[in-house]
Amino acid sequence: MSHTAIVPDHATIRNYILHHRLPLYFSKAVLTHIETYMVAATAKGFRGKVVDLAEYSDCHRTTLGHFLAEGKWDHGVLQAKVKTESLRQVMQVSQRTADPLFVIHDDTIAQKSKPSSQAEAPMELTSFHHSHLLGKVVWGHQMQAAFVGCADLSLIHSIDLYDKTKTHPDGTVYTKIDRVCDMAATFPLPPHGGYVLVDSWFTCARVIDCYAAAGYHLIGALKTNRIIYPQGIRFSVQDFATHIRKEDVRLVTVNGSSYWTYRYEGALNDIDNAVVLLCWPEHAFGEPKGLRAFLCTNVSLETKTILAYYAKRWPIEIFFRQSKNNLGLNTYQVRSSTAFIRLWALLAFTHLYCTTGLEQPHQFGDGLRLVRKQVQQDRVRAIYECGQRGVPFHVVCERFKLA
């Protein structure tokens, strides 16, 4: 009896693929592999390895490896689908609620083992990068991600490799800030205002100007060595903080946490006018290690609103952690750049499915649990139907890689 007669029917995932009209762009074989990835990636213990995909496919792992590294299909279609769908979803929410749009940028490192100098086929485009999380230089791939959001909805928009070897036509290095600035022009004009949320690396005049041209203000973390000019006097943020007294600050509560805040409005180096907030946790006022600074180019926003908006940057940090823990973002072992960039495109499409592809929007963790349950039910249903049709036990075991 053919094994195809007992293949689990993952109808929900297949319907999502059809909804995005992927059959217009990909062959039946490629669509099958995309479905296989989505099924495997949402299973417990997925590490992003080809052998994990083979567990949920009739194909040998070498076929799946060829699909990723050398297959004739355009992963840019998936990347474009993720961008288009994420923007469509958040624009709908903004038009319904009249809330502002948020664009969130950040980067992370997929850490890898440094290969031996004698390795014949090391992983492509790996290099040394400084990890702020670990506080040291590590070997691996650095990626830049963008999220879009509105109200309580935050969605993956893009994942791109940061390639240190990429240059402009004049030979200068194409930086992470260049990438963020280039993306500014790709976002629609926000119908009810918009903000780009960034960490201190991207809080600079170039990013501010590029997003201002696109119709967005910037709210970003600020390094405490940045220069401000209170009453025309030149101070670094950290030095000025030593002159702030308890009667100069007020307590602000955001998302259940309270902070002492001081509000400065005026010039910074390369920035004519902005709000700078100096913040300390409620029980650490005046402590240098507790000081955090934030910049907002919309000087009309209240202090509490600025901090509440900046807190909406957190979903991208959660995305990195959840993708590394559940979707193999940190443990893939494919060697070619084409293969791992395709894995990232598949990962983003799967993440979007878990958040928006079910009956209603979900946080990724909740959506992932629902998809896992559905996939398990599909497999159990296939086994149950085999029993009803009298399929021999050894055939079922072979199909589900249990022989």
Domain limits, the chain: 3-73+362-399, 76-319
Q: For residue 381, give Cα distances in angstroms to 7, 55, 57, 146.
A: 10, 18, 17, 38
259: left (phi over 0), alpha (psi -120 to 50) or beta: beta
The H-or-E segment that residue 159 falls in is strand 153-161
In this structure, the dihedral spanned by the alpha carbons of residues 266, 268, 272 and 276, taken in order and rounded to 10 degrees, is -50
Q: Assess whether pLDDT exceeds 60 at residue 3.
A: no
DSSP SS3 for 5: helix
Q: What average pLDDT does this structure show over 245-264?
A: 95
Low-confidence winner among 42-46, 156-160, 312-316 (lowest mean pLDDT): 42-46
Tell me which architecture the domain covering 76-319 has in CATH: Alpha-Beta Complex (3.90)
Q: What confidence category does residue 385 fall into, taking pLDDT thresholds of 50, 70 and 90?
A: confident
- pLDDT at residue 388 in the model: 86
Q: What average pLDDT does this structure show over 312-331?
A: 94
Q: What average pLDDT does this structure show over 381-393?
A: 85
- pLDDT at residue 12 in the model: 93
Q: Are strands 217-222 and 250-254 parallel, antiparallel or unpaired?
A: unpaired
User: In Å, how far from its chain's centre is CA 343?
Assistant: 14
**What sign does the dihedral 324-325-328-333 (CA atoms) show?**
positive
How many alpha carbons lie under 13 Å from residue 265 in its C-beta half-sphere?
7
Q: What DSSP assignment string belongs to 6-18?
A: G----HHHHHHHH
- CA-nearest of 257, 225, 219 to 241 is 225
- pLDDT at residue 139 in the model: 93
Q: What average pLDDT does this structure show over 54-61?
A: 89
Q: Are strands 194-198 and 101-111 parallel, antiparallel or unpaired?
A: parallel
- CA-nearest of 83, 102, 91, 78 to 16 is 78
Q: What is the DSSP letter of 121?
A: S
Q: What confidence category does residue 401 fall into, taking pLDDT thresholds of 50, 70 and 90?
A: confident
197 forms beta bridges with: 104, 219
- pLDDT at residue 7 in the model: 67
Helices 337-356 and 314-326 cross at an angle (nearest 10°) of 110
- CA-nearest of 374, 274, 363 to 322 is 363
Summarize pLDDT for 338-361 with one digit per residue, the tens.
Answer: 999 999 999 999 999 999 999 899
Backbone torsions φ then ψ of 238, nearest 5 degrees: -70, -35
Q: What confidence category does residue 4 fall into, taking pLDDT thresholds of 50, 70 and 90?
A: very low
| Spatial contact of 151 and 97, defined as CB atoms under 8 Å apart | yes
Q: Which amino acid is at 150?
A: C
Helices and strands, counts by H and E, the chain:
13, 12
pLDDT: which is higher, 232 or 4: 232
- pLDDT at residue 118 in the model: 63
Q: What DSSP assignment string belongs to 318-384?
A: HHHHHHHHHS-TTT----SHHHHHHHHHHHHHHHHHHHHSSSS---HHHHHHHHHHHHHHHHHHHHH
Q: Which amino acid is at 55?
A: E
**What sign does the dihedral 360-362-368-370 (CA atoms) show?**
negative
Q: What confidence category does residue 394 fall into, taking pLDDT thresholds of 50, 70 and 90?
A: confident
Q: What is the DSSP letter of 100?
A: P
- pLDDT at residue 1 in the model: 42
Q: What confidence category does residue 6 fall into, taking pLDDT thresholds of 50, 70 and 90?
A: low
